[in-house]
Amino acid sequence: MAAIAIPENTRVFLLDIEGTTTPITFVKDILFPYIRENLEEYLSAHWEEDECKQDVHLLKKQAEEDLRQNKAGPVHAVDQTVHTDEEKAIREVVENVLWQMDADRKSTALKQLQGHMWRAAYMTGKIKGEVYQDVVPAVRRWRHHGLKVYIYSSGSVEAQKLLFGYSVQGNLLDLFDGHFDTNIGAKVESKSYENIAERIGCQPEEIMFLTDVTREAKAAEDAGVNVAVVVRPGNMELTEEERNHYKIVTSFNQLELSGNI
């Protein structure tokens, strides 16, 4: 692997998760199937709890909004309050959630319920976050040399902390100085990276962003952030033009810090 020198003025590493620190297959083959396989059991176990009631209420509101917008969906309304038949009510929630997942919906209602289910799974050891083997030693090395390390993912900050807090390599949260999600802005918008630099308290050109998505790389680059595109197994293939334009990283160990020591 060829070493890649990072700019000498780099003070911060900003890391994407899916396809960068963590295999894409972890989300596709572990997280989403867990929801499908355990949804009905989870709802039955937590149906009377306030958090679950709030989740179902949000799903009901989303279903009503979908109906107003004439979006296709399950024929039954999602409601926890009108049914005396609990099993029937739960089946209707399951039907709605699976429909949203099949349609690759990103609704707040769906993400909230999924997040609560994953939290329970992480905390009981049913799921452990996957992190590539080269990530932890590289991040420790960067921090040893005085650089700060932040995460920026479209997944919620809570979901990020669960993945790293309950990982196969133990609790890794002490490796990171902070977390950003789309509350700071979309990852394909250059303004988001300016916002992150301002929040951290540095200049955009002092940040090195690692991502597997070239649209995100371009947005960061447009904001003045330094970028390397991460190529991992299962990631989207890069065009020849993209390979010629961006620094390409297949392992974090390629990133050379000699100019910063």
Residue 147 near residue 10, CB atoms below 8 Å: yes
CB of 159 closer than 8 Å to CB of 27? no
Strands 255-256 vs 4-5: parallel, antiparallel or unpaired? parallel
Distances from the Cα of 115 to the Cαs of 21, 97, 195, 250, in angstroms? 20, 13, 25, 30
The contacts of residue 19 (CB under 8 Å, 6+ apart) are 211, 212, 213, 230, 232, 234, 235
Query: Is 154 one of the annotated binding-site residues?
Result: yes
Question: Which DSSP category does 220 fall into?
Answer: H
> Is 187 known as a binding-site position?
yes
Spell out a b/e string for 141-153, using b for 16 or more CB atoms within 10 Å of the CB, else e.
ebbeeebbbbbbb
Residue 66, annotated ligand binder?
no
- 153 has binding-site annotation: yes
- Is 212 annotated as belonging to a binding site? yes
For residue 36, what are the CA distances in angstroms to 43, 86, 118?
A: 12, 19, 12
Residues tagged in the binding site annotation for Mg(2+) = 16, 18, 212
Residues annotated within the binding site for substrate are: 153-154, 187
Annotated binding site: 16, 18, 153-154, 187, 212
